[in-house]
Amino acid sequence: MNNSIPRTYSVATQYKDFGALTIAGGSHVDALPQEALESGIDIVVHDEGEKIILELREILISGHGVLLNRPGLSQVKGISFLDDNGAYIFTGKRQPIDDLDELADPDLTLIKFLKKRWSYLPINRGRGCNWNCEFCIVNKRYGKY
């Protein structure tokens, strides 16, 4: 959501100061990746991130202690990052996921205190939106729900 972007950049910068790698996705950073990369984000994920994040995990784990393995990152379609000289790199468009049902269910055991706070947690997968608001980029970018 655009209204949370200033806070996202602030938190990203804080975590970078701690030595963490920052990854962001969503409509705002997808539309303005260079802004994100200049504001504390190390990697911007374009379009759908479910498969991209799995590839990124493998690249980052196999980085042999290198936090931002740029040569490895260049092999992952659908992301942006800055090279060693600060130049913008876009690795190219990725094919959309055809069947959302093929995606694994999220591991809810990773949510601390889940049983104490919620009796259930609804999960919904979809793309786009049923509405067609003139000010919104979602349908223009991702299509109808």
d(CA 122, CA 46): 25
The pLDDT tens digits for 91-135 are 999 988 888 888 887 777 777 766 666 566 666 666 777 788 888
pTM for the predicted model, two decimal places: 0.80
DSSP 8-class letter at 130:
S
The pLDDT tens digits for 70-96 are 778 999 999 999 998 999 999 999 988
State which H helix or E strand residue 44 sits in.
strand 43-45
**Domain range for 17:** 2-90
In total, how many domains does the chain have?
1
Residue 66 domain-assigned?
Answer: yes
Residue 32 domain-assigned?
Answer: yes
Residue 31 domain-assigned?
Answer: yes
State which H helix or E strand residue 90 sits in.
strand 88-90
The structure tokens listed for 18 are 């701690």
Residue 100 domain-assigned?
Answer: no
